[in-house]
Amino acid sequence: MGNLLAFGPIVKLRGIHHITAIASDPQRNVDFYTQILGLRLAKRTVNFDDPSTYHLYFGDRTGRPGTAITFFAWPGARRGTRGTGQVISASFAIPASSVEYWKARFAEHRVFCEEIPSRFNAPGLRFTDADGLLLELIESTQLDDVDLEYESDMPQKFAIHGFHAPTLEVQQTGPTEELLKTLGFELVGEEKSRRRLSVNSKSTSAQVDLVERAEGQFGVNSAGTVHHIAFRCANDKEQSRWRKELVDLGLHVTPVIDRFYFHSIYFREPGGILFEIATEGPGFTVDEPVKQLGESLKLPPQYEQHRPEIERTLPPILIEAKMKTAG
Ligand code: ZN
């Protein structure tokens, strides 16, 4: 059978897979993202490159790609600095007319927030997590389809619906924009120094905002900063085509790394931001049932034999018991 696809134009990336940032105290991290932001702890595992530390994933019920913000939790880590060559804000989509609800919720939890001057005509809020990571909630009339059927006190009509065009800051947008276009992104909007690029204008998690700061200082990666942004592709075959394409462009791309819940390649884009391309699957339900996601420590097969030492090293994490389902 002829395989036209194999020779045709390369498929576009599908949007954001996850964003990974650095936290210090794991308990504080879990409390903030589950109790205040109302996300689900969808996976509790270790950093595969350093199994003595946690890797925590938050998202919708199954932590599906496009909803997952993840953290390397390094107890005692000093604060990093936000700057160019980084994703400087991880932004989430919230339903239209929910800013007022969120303002009240933040006030109740004593989280300082401020309104963002309207961005592409959408209101939003900006605030930081316990480690100083800059986060935003942006109202959107078009929301990604997410699964909110998990225990939380967050009313579903105000809940976070995955990412919303996170901000990538670079000294020069040209080369980064060119690379994003190679990956299938198109320029869909411009507002001052902000350029919005999209692989799917119907999905808020399929967009990124590129901001140029020619005089910007490079950020320092530690607690409170984003480590990398991952985009998603359908499967291993697409991933290996992307890898070849990127290597042909002269980029240094890692081999495919098995992250157990997905397969990944990593490279630094010309503006200095660490990019990852991850496969959609197999996903977080590969080693535990949906109902129990995040409840216990899951280890990839290569570390299972070291479970006793690993568990002794990791600080315990308690999941707040007083959550209730709200209507
Ligand atoms: Zn990643």
Distance 21 CA to ligand 1 centre (A): 9
Distance 97 CA to ligand 1 centre (A): 32
Q: How far apart are the C-alpha atoms of 270 and 141, rounded to whole Å? A: 33
Reply yes or no on whether the pLDDT at 117 is more than 90: no
Distance 289 CA to ligand 1 centre (A): 22
- In a domain, residue 171? The reply is yes
Give the torsion sign (CA, 291, 96, 28, 106): negative
147 close to 137: Cβ distance less than 8 angstroms: no
Distance 177 CA to ligand 1 centre (A): 21
- The model's pTM is 0.95
Domain that holds residue 232: 4-313
In this predicted structure, what is the pLDDT of residue 321? Answer: 52
Q: How far apart are the C-alpha atoms of 297 and 304, rounded to whole Å? A: 10
Mean pLDDT of 223-230: 98
Which residues neighbour 126 within 8 Å (Cβ) at sequence distance 6 or greater?
89, 113, 114, 115, 116, 134, 135, 136
Total tally of structural domains belonging to the chain: 1
What's 270's domain CATH number? Answer: 3.10.180.10
pLDDT confidence band for 326 (50 / 70 / 90): very low
- pLDDT tens digits for range 291-304: 999 999 999 999 99
Distance 15 CA to ligand 1 centre (A): 14
- In a domain, residue 321? The reply is no
In this predicted structure, what is the pLDDT of residue 9? Answer: 56
Q: How far apart are the C-alpha atoms of 120 and 187, rounded to whole Å? A: 13
35 close to 122: Cβ distance less than 8 angstroms: no
State the chain's maximal CA–CA distance in angstroms.
Answer: 62
Token pair, residue 265, equals 């390649």
- In a domain, residue 61? The reply is yes
- In a domain, residue 227? The reply is yes
Reply yes or no on whether the pLDDT at 194 is more than 90: yes
Distance 100 CA to ligand 1 centre (A): 32
Reply yes or no on whether the pLDDT at 325 is more than 80: no
- In a domain, residue 323? The reply is no
- In a domain, residue 327? The reply is no
Quote the percentage of the chain above a pLDDT of 90: 93
- pLDDT tens digits for range 46-98: 999 999 999 999 999 999 999 999 999 999 999 999 999 999 999 999 999 99
Q: How many helices (H) and strands (E) does the chain have?
A: 6, 16
- In a domain, residue 319? The reply is no
In this predicted structure, what is the pLDDT of residue 3? Answer: 46
Distance 282 CA to ligand 1 centre (A): 14
3-state secondary structure at position 279: strand
- In a domain, residue 285? The reply is yes
The single-letter DSSP state of residue 246 is: H
Phi and psi dihedrals of 103, rounded to 5? Answer: -60, -45
Instruction: List the shell of residues around ion ligand 1, using CB closer than 5 Å.
Output: 20, 230, 276
